[in-house]
Amino acid sequence: MAQKILYNVTVKILNEFCEEWLQWMQEVHIPDVMATSKFEEYKISEIIEEENEGRTFAIQYVSPDMDTFQSYQLDHAKGLQQEHAARYKDKYVAFRTLMNIIKEG
């Protein structure tokens, strides 16, 4: 059985853009990512920390296997990431982490 993949995108966005960004993510960006059919589910969470210059969010997508995720990377990721980067230029920092899901409960 193929091992599921967790694709985590952590984004810290400046305070003054948080609400608009969160709405855009939920109404536009995440639905666009899910429409690629490369992910089975997603979660969006806010990292609990002292709020200073911004708030930090983790968006986690579950892909059924590495081949499906790599297909997403090859065919869809660049355009979706560029759209986000253009819309929020100089207003955020982001990093991505890829993990094997060992066990789900």
- How much is the pLDDT for 53? 86
3-state secondary structure of 5: strand
Nearest alpha-carbon partner for 96 in 51, 45, 61? 61
Tell which wins on pLDDT, 57 or 51.
57
pTM (two decimals) = 0.93
Give the mean model confidence (pLDDT) for residues 62-69: 98
In a domain, 105, yes or no: no
| Measured CA distances, 58 to 40, 74, 84, 96 (Å) | 17, 22, 15, 9
pLDDT at residue 54 above 90? yes
User: Quick one: 102 exposed, middle or buried, by C-beta within 10 A (0-12, 13-18, 19+)?
Assistant: exposed
Segment holding 22, helix H or strand E: helix 18-24
pLDDT at residue 36 above 80? yes
In a domain, 81, yes or no: yes
Give the mean model confidence (pLDDT) for residues 83-89: 96
pLDDT digits (tens, 9 = 90+) for 17-26: 999 999 999 9
> Could you give the number of structural domains in the chain?
1
Domain that holds residue 19: 5-100
Give the CATH number of the domain where residue 14 resides: 3.30.70.100
pLDDT at residue 50 above 90? no
pLDDT at residue 1 above 80? no
In a domain, 29, yes or no: yes
State the first-to-last Cα distance of the chain, in angstroms, to the nearest integer: 17
In a domain, 11, yes or no: yes
pLDDT at residue 58 above 80? yes
